[in-house]
Copies of this chain bind each other. A is one copy, B any other.
Amino acid sequence: MISIVGHTAVDHICRVPFFPERHTSVYTLDHRIFFGGGAANIAAGIATLGECCELVSAVGSDFPGGAYERHMADLGIVPRFFQVDDRPTATAFMFNDAEGDQITFFDWGASAVFADAEAPSLPFVHMATADPSFNVRVAERSEFASFDPGQDILKYDREQFEAILEHISILFANRHEAARMAEVLGISMDELADRVEIAVFTMDSAGCMLCTGGERRTIPAVRVEAEDPTGAGDAFRAGFLTAYLRGLPPVRCCTIGTVTASFAVERMGCQTNLPTWERMAERHRQHFGPITEA
Protein backbone atom coordinates (compact mmCIF):
# COMPACT_ATOMS: atom_id res chain seq x y z
CA MET A 1 0.00 0.00 0.00
CA ILE A 2 1.11 3.53 -0.76
CA SER A 3 0.72 6.38 1.76
CA ILE A 4 0.07 9.92 0.59
CA VAL A 5 1.06 12.75 2.93
CA GLY A 6 -0.25 16.32 2.78
CA HIS A 7 -3.33 18.55 2.58
CA THR A 8 -6.95 17.59 2.59
CA ALA A 9 -8.82 20.77 1.65
CA VAL A 10 -12.28 21.99 0.78
CA ASP A 11 -12.43 24.17 -2.35
CA HIS A 12 -15.16 26.82 -2.54
CA ILE A 13 -15.42 28.26 -6.06
CA CYS A 14 -17.79 31.19 -6.63
CA ARG A 15 -18.66 33.32 -9.63
CA VAL A 16 -19.32 36.97 -8.80
CA PRO A 17 -20.39 39.87 -11.04
CA PHE A 18 -17.50 41.95 -9.61
CA PHE A 19 -15.09 41.96 -6.65
CA PRO A 20 -16.50 43.96 -3.72
CA GLU A 21 -14.91 47.25 -2.65
CA ARG A 22 -13.83 47.61 0.98
CA HIS A 23 -16.80 47.54 3.39
CA THR A 24 -19.25 46.30 0.78
CA SER A 25 -20.73 42.95 -0.11
CA VAL A 26 -21.72 41.16 -3.30
CA TYR A 27 -24.19 38.33 -4.01
CA THR A 28 -22.47 35.41 -5.72
CA LEU A 29 -23.86 34.09 -9.03
CA ASP A 30 -23.07 30.56 -8.01
CA HIS A 31 -21.05 28.69 -5.42
CA ARG A 32 -19.72 25.21 -5.75
CA ILE A 33 -17.91 23.12 -3.17
CA PHE A 34 -15.31 20.64 -4.37
CA PHE A 35 -13.17 18.06 -2.63
CA GLY A 36 -9.54 19.14 -2.84
CA GLY A 37 -6.12 19.34 -1.25
CA GLY A 38 -3.09 17.94 -3.07
CA ALA A 39 -2.63 14.77 -1.04
CA ALA A 40 -6.35 13.96 -0.96
CA ASN A 41 -6.58 14.50 -4.72
CA ILE A 42 -3.73 12.06 -5.35
CA ALA A 43 -5.20 9.51 -2.93
CA ALA A 44 -8.60 9.80 -4.63
CA GLY A 45 -6.94 9.30 -8.02
CA ILE A 46 -5.07 6.18 -6.91
CA ALA A 47 -8.13 4.72 -5.18
CA THR A 48 -10.30 5.34 -8.26
CA LEU A 49 -7.68 3.65 -10.45
CA GLY A 50 -8.02 0.65 -8.14
CA GLU A 51 -4.97 0.60 -5.87
CA CYS A 52 -4.98 0.52 -2.08
CA CYS A 53 -4.06 3.88 -0.66
CA GLU A 54 -3.60 5.48 2.76
CA LEU A 55 -4.02 9.23 3.29
CA VAL A 56 -1.88 10.84 6.01
CA SER A 57 -3.54 14.20 6.45
CA ALA A 58 -5.13 16.71 8.83
CA VAL A 59 -8.86 17.34 9.02
CA GLY A 60 -10.88 19.79 11.10
CA SER A 61 -14.07 20.11 13.08
CA ASP A 62 -16.21 20.22 9.92
CA PHE A 63 -14.96 16.83 8.67
CA PRO A 64 -16.45 14.07 10.88
CA GLY A 65 -19.78 12.87 9.54
CA GLY A 66 -19.66 15.22 6.56
CA ALA A 67 -19.79 14.73 2.82
CA TYR A 68 -16.00 14.65 2.32
CA GLU A 69 -15.57 11.89 4.90
CA ARG A 70 -18.28 9.83 3.18
CA HIS A 71 -16.68 10.46 -0.23
CA MET A 72 -13.32 9.15 0.99
CA ALA A 73 -14.94 6.14 2.61
CA ASP A 74 -16.80 5.37 -0.63
CA LEU A 75 -13.48 5.46 -2.49
CA GLY A 76 -11.95 3.07 0.04
CA ILE A 77 -9.18 5.48 1.06
CA VAL A 78 -7.62 4.34 4.34
CA PRO A 79 -7.72 7.34 6.70
CA ARG A 80 -4.73 8.20 8.91
CA PHE A 81 -5.83 11.62 10.05
CA PHE A 82 -4.79 14.16 12.59
CA GLN A 83 -8.23 15.23 13.80
CA VAL A 84 -8.14 18.89 14.84
CA ASP A 85 -11.21 19.97 16.78
CA ASP A 86 -10.64 23.70 17.07
CA ARG A 87 -9.98 24.49 13.39
CA PRO A 88 -11.74 23.78 10.10
CA THR A 89 -10.23 21.56 7.44
CA ALA A 90 -7.87 23.53 5.14
CA THR A 91 -10.01 25.61 2.78
CA ALA A 92 -9.49 27.41 -0.51
CA PHE A 93 -11.89 30.24 -1.40
CA MET A 94 -11.74 31.15 -5.09
CA PHE A 95 -13.78 33.99 -6.60
CA ASN A 96 -14.02 34.50 -10.37
CA ASP A 97 -15.43 37.75 -11.75
CA ALA A 98 -17.18 38.45 -15.06
CA GLU A 99 -13.91 39.55 -16.66
CA GLY A 100 -12.27 36.21 -16.01
CA ASP A 101 -10.09 37.44 -13.15
CA GLN A 102 -9.67 35.36 -10.00
CA ILE A 103 -8.74 36.04 -6.39
CA THR A 104 -7.95 33.26 -3.93
CA PHE A 105 -7.86 33.05 -0.13
CA PHE A 106 -6.17 29.90 1.21
CA ASP A 107 -6.59 28.83 4.78
CA TRP A 108 -4.25 26.13 6.18
CA GLY A 109 -6.75 25.31 8.90
CA ALA A 110 -6.17 21.87 10.42
CA SER A 111 -2.97 21.42 8.34
CA ALA A 112 -1.21 23.66 10.87
CA VAL A 113 -0.76 20.56 13.09
CA PHE A 114 1.76 19.05 10.66
CA ALA A 115 4.44 21.43 11.98
CA ASP A 116 4.64 19.65 15.35
CA ALA A 117 3.19 16.25 14.48
CA GLU A 118 5.13 13.03 14.88
CA ALA A 119 6.09 11.61 11.49
CA PRO A 120 5.09 8.02 10.79
CA SER A 121 7.56 5.49 9.38
CA LEU A 122 6.17 4.36 6.02
CA PRO A 123 7.27 1.74 3.49
CA PHE A 124 6.18 3.63 0.32
CA VAL A 125 5.17 7.25 0.65
CA HIS A 126 4.41 10.19 -1.61
CA MET A 127 4.79 13.58 0.03
CA ALA A 128 2.52 16.16 -1.55
CA THR A 129 2.46 19.88 -0.87
CA ALA A 130 2.24 20.61 2.88
CA ASP A 131 4.49 21.48 5.81
CA PRO A 132 8.21 21.29 4.86
CA SER A 133 9.46 20.21 8.29
CA PHE A 134 6.90 17.39 8.51
CA ASN A 135 7.79 16.21 5.00
CA VAL A 136 11.49 16.18 5.91
CA ARG A 137 10.77 14.00 8.95
CA VAL A 138 8.57 11.66 6.89
CA ALA A 139 11.28 11.38 4.21
CA GLU A 140 13.93 10.52 6.79
CA ARG A 141 11.83 7.65 8.17
CA SER A 142 10.55 6.26 4.88
CA GLU A 143 11.76 3.20 3.00
CA PHE A 144 10.81 4.45 -0.50
CA ALA A 145 9.68 8.01 -1.06
CA SER A 146 8.45 10.31 -3.77
CA PHE A 147 7.83 14.08 -3.51
CA ASP A 148 6.25 17.10 -5.12
CA PRO A 149 6.67 20.60 -3.64
CA GLY A 150 3.41 22.02 -5.09
CA GLN A 151 1.88 25.33 -4.09
CA ASP A 152 3.76 25.52 -0.78
CA ILE A 153 7.15 25.51 -2.53
CA LEU A 154 8.03 28.97 -1.20
CA LYS A 155 7.91 27.61 2.36
CA TYR A 156 10.89 25.26 1.76
CA ASP A 157 14.46 26.38 2.45
CA ARG A 158 17.67 24.90 1.04
CA GLU A 159 18.30 22.54 3.98
CA GLN A 160 14.81 21.13 3.71
CA PHE A 161 15.14 20.51 -0.05
CA GLU A 162 18.55 18.86 0.54
CA ALA A 163 17.18 16.58 3.27
CA ILE A 164 14.26 15.51 1.13
CA LEU A 165 16.36 14.90 -2.01
CA GLU A 166 18.65 12.68 0.04
CA HIS A 167 15.81 10.31 0.85
CA ILE A 168 13.53 10.30 -2.18
CA SER A 169 13.62 8.18 -5.33
CA ILE A 170 11.04 10.08 -7.39
CA LEU A 171 10.65 13.85 -7.82
CA PHE A 172 7.66 15.50 -9.50
CA ALA A 173 7.62 19.20 -10.33
CA ASN A 174 6.17 21.53 -12.91
CA ARG A 175 8.71 23.71 -14.69
CA HIS A 176 8.23 26.67 -12.37
CA GLU A 177 8.67 24.47 -9.30
CA ALA A 178 11.72 22.72 -10.78
CA ALA A 179 13.30 26.09 -11.62
CA ARG A 180 12.61 27.36 -8.10
CA MET A 181 14.09 24.23 -6.48
CA ALA A 182 17.19 24.41 -8.67
CA GLU A 183 17.61 28.11 -7.82
CA VAL A 184 17.30 27.55 -4.06
CA LEU A 185 19.80 24.68 -4.29
CA GLY A 186 22.16 26.65 -6.54
CA ILE A 187 22.25 23.95 -9.21
CA SER A 188 20.91 23.52 -12.75
CA MET A 189 17.64 21.73 -13.52
CA ASP A 190 19.70 18.94 -15.12
CA GLU A 191 21.71 18.55 -11.94
CA LEU A 192 18.47 18.55 -9.94
CA ALA A 193 17.10 15.72 -12.11
CA ASP A 194 20.26 13.70 -11.58
CA ARG A 195 19.94 13.90 -7.79
CA VAL A 196 17.09 11.33 -7.90
CA GLU A 197 16.41 8.00 -9.63
CA ILE A 198 13.41 9.38 -11.49
CA ALA A 199 12.52 13.03 -12.06
CA VAL A 200 9.36 14.04 -13.92
CA PHE A 201 8.98 17.66 -14.95
CA THR A 202 5.49 18.48 -16.21
CA MET A 203 5.21 21.24 -18.83
CA ASP A 204 1.44 21.94 -19.23
CA SER A 205 0.33 21.49 -22.85
CA ALA A 206 3.90 20.58 -23.86
CA GLY A 207 3.59 17.29 -21.97
CA CYS A 208 6.21 16.08 -19.52
CA MET A 209 9.91 15.27 -19.44
CA LEU A 210 11.06 12.02 -17.85
CA CYS A 211 14.63 12.11 -16.54
CA THR A 212 16.10 8.79 -15.48
CA GLY A 213 19.56 7.21 -15.64
CA GLY A 214 20.95 10.33 -17.31
CA GLU A 215 18.40 10.06 -20.14
CA ARG A 216 15.72 12.61 -21.07
CA ARG A 217 12.48 11.69 -22.78
CA THR A 218 9.49 13.89 -23.62
CA ILE A 219 5.96 12.47 -23.43
CA PRO A 220 3.31 14.57 -25.23
CA ALA A 221 0.16 15.73 -23.47
CA VAL A 222 -3.26 14.33 -24.42
CA ARG A 223 -5.39 17.12 -25.88
CA VAL A 224 -8.93 17.31 -24.50
CA GLU A 225 -11.51 20.03 -24.05
CA ALA A 226 -10.31 21.40 -20.72
CA GLU A 227 -12.83 23.04 -18.40
CA ASP A 228 -10.53 23.49 -15.39
CA PRO A 229 -6.77 22.84 -15.30
CA THR A 230 -6.73 22.63 -11.48
CA GLY A 231 -5.83 19.16 -10.28
CA ALA A 232 -4.03 18.07 -13.46
CA GLY A 233 -0.72 17.64 -11.63
CA ASP A 234 -2.30 15.65 -8.82
CA ALA A 235 -4.08 13.35 -11.29
CA PHE A 236 -0.80 12.89 -13.18
CA ARG A 237 0.94 11.78 -9.98
CA ALA A 238 -1.98 9.45 -9.13
CA GLY A 239 -1.69 7.78 -12.53
CA PHE A 240 2.10 7.60 -12.42
CA LEU A 241 2.23 6.16 -8.89
CA THR A 242 -0.52 3.60 -9.56
CA ALA A 243 1.34 2.37 -12.63
CA TYR A 244 4.59 2.32 -10.65
CA LEU A 245 2.93 0.24 -7.91
CA ARG A 246 1.86 -2.19 -10.65
CA GLY A 247 5.48 -2.60 -11.73
CA LEU A 248 5.27 -0.71 -15.03
CA PRO A 249 8.40 1.01 -16.40
CA PRO A 250 8.85 4.79 -15.90
CA VAL A 251 7.90 5.79 -19.44
CA ARG A 252 4.64 3.84 -19.16
CA CYS A 253 4.04 5.44 -15.74
CA CYS A 254 4.33 8.82 -17.50
CA THR A 255 1.87 7.99 -20.29
CA ILE A 256 -0.61 6.65 -17.73
CA GLY A 257 -0.14 9.80 -15.64
CA THR A 258 -0.72 11.93 -18.73
CA VAL A 259 -3.92 10.10 -19.62
CA THR A 260 -5.21 10.26 -16.03
CA ALA A 261 -4.60 14.02 -15.98
CA SER A 262 -6.55 14.43 -19.22
CA PHE A 263 -9.70 13.23 -17.44
CA ALA A 264 -9.23 15.51 -14.42
CA VAL A 265 -9.19 18.72 -16.52
CA GLU A 266 -12.44 17.90 -18.34
CA ARG A 267 -14.57 18.91 -15.33
CA MET A 268 -14.49 21.58 -12.63
CA GLY A 269 -12.94 20.30 -9.40
CA CYS A 270 -9.90 18.13 -8.81
CA GLN A 271 -11.75 14.90 -7.97
CA THR A 272 -14.84 15.27 -10.13
CA ASN A 273 -13.81 13.20 -13.13
CA LEU A 274 -11.07 10.81 -12.05
CA PRO A 275 -11.01 7.66 -14.23
CA THR A 276 -11.13 4.00 -13.28
CA TRP A 277 -8.26 1.89 -14.61
CA GLU A 278 -10.53 0.66 -17.43
CA ARG A 279 -11.56 4.16 -18.59
CA MET A 280 -7.94 5.27 -18.39
CA ALA A 281 -6.73 2.19 -20.33
CA GLU A 282 -9.28 2.81 -23.09
CA ARG A 283 -8.09 6.37 -23.70
CA HIS A 284 -4.47 5.25 -23.27
CA ARG A 285 -4.94 2.78 -26.11
CA GLN A 286 -6.12 5.59 -28.41
CA HIS A 287 -3.15 7.85 -27.66
CA PHE A 288 -0.23 5.68 -26.58
CA GLY A 289 -1.30 2.14 -27.52
CA PRO A 290 -2.18 -0.70 -25.16
CA ILE A 291 -0.83 -0.85 -21.63
CA THR A 292 1.38 -3.92 -21.52
CA GLU A 293 1.91 -5.11 -17.99
CA ALA A 294 5.64 -5.30 -17.39
Contact = CB atoms under 8 A, between A and B. Distances in A.
Interface of A: 12, 14, 16, 19-28, 30-33, 61-62, 64-67, 70, 87-88, 91, 93, 95, 101-109
Contacts of A62: 33, 66-67
A62 B62 CA distance: 10
B101 A31 contact: no
17 contacts: A14-B105, A16-B105, A19-B22, A21-B103, A22-B101, A23-B102, A23-B103, A24-B104, A25-B105, A26-B105, A30-B107, A31-B91, A33-B62, A64-B67, A65-B66, A65-B67, A66-B66
Query: Which are the 10 A-B pairs with shortest beta-carbon distances?
Result: A25-B104, A31-B107, A28-B107, A22-B101, A20-B103, A66-B66, A65-B65, A33-B88, A28-B105, A27-B106
A107 to B, nearest CB: 4
Contacts of A106: 25-28
B88 A32 contact: yes
Contacts of A19: 22, 103
A66 to B, nearest CB: 5
Contacts of A12: 12, 91, 93
A88 B192 CA distance: 44
A87 B105 CA distance: 21
Contacts of A108: 27-28
Nearest to A67: B62
Contacts of A88: 31-33
A245 B101 CA distance: 51
Nearest to A104: B25
Contacts of A107: 14, 27-28, 30-31
A61 B66 contact: no
